Amino acid sequence: MRPASAPPHSDGGNPMTRSTTGSTTDELRDVARDAMKLGGRCVGVARDWFEEKRDEFKAGRAAGTATGVTAHGYRGVGPRGYRRDDARVREDVCDVLTDSDTLDASDITVTVQDGVVRLAGTVPHRMMKRLAEDLAEDCSGVRDVENALRVGPPPQAARSGMGASASGVSTTGATSAGSGGVGGSATGTPTGGSSGPTANI
């Protein structure tokens, strides 16, 4: 005979289960409540900070409007008499030309004097010529850009091509000259020789 027991899905006969479940639910509820409180504090702090900065900006703009001075737009305005060293300007220009993924700067030379950048050398495309000038002009301390870049193959490639062409011409000329000289001498000498004896006869 089967002993009497509590229903399988009933917690009436197991107070431990009910207690554990209740405590877990309470803990989760407490954690959620603490998280909401913390989030509320963070939101409040962020809101206060933004409001404070907004008030400062408004106050600065109002003061600037009253005195005729704007509260922003002074990027690039340095202390009196300050000017970036030409070596630093050249380094920055070389860095930005090197970092560009759409510019072949392998045959570009950069010189800087009194903040004026001069670009010389050769680039494969006209677009790269304009890009190099724009990149150099955006560097800090650059007063002007002299773009002396040429569009075409690098001088090394041009010289190697000219050398190959010149060697081909000289070889052909030598061959034709040699054959002409041999043919002339072979043809001219017997002709002259034959005319000589014929005349003598």
Instruction: List, for residues 58-116, the tens digit of each pLDDT value.
Output: 777 676 666 666 666 777 788 998 889 999 999 999 999 999 999 999 999 999 999 99
Res 68: pLDDT: 63
Q: Smallest Cα–Cα separation from 150: which of 109, 101, 201, 191?
A: 109
CA angle in degrees (0–180, nearest 5) for 117-118-119: 120
Lowest mean pLDDT among 20-29, 102-111, 128-137, 143-152: 20-29
Alpha helix (H) residue ranges in the chain: 15-67, 86-99, 126-137, 155-200
Q: How confident is the model at residue 26 (pLDDT cuts 50, 70, 90)?
A: confident
* Confidence at residue 50, expressed as pLDDT on a 0 to 100 scale: 84
Q: pLDDT tens-digit profile of 150-197? A: 999 866 655 565 555 545 544 444 444 444 444 444 444 444 444 444
According to the model, what pLDDT value does residue 163 have?
Answer: 54
How many Å apart are CA 162 and CA 179, to the nearest integer?
Answer: 25
- Taking Cα atoms as reference points, which of 174, 93, 163 lies closest to residue 135? 93
On the question of pLDDT at 25 being above 70, the answer is: yes
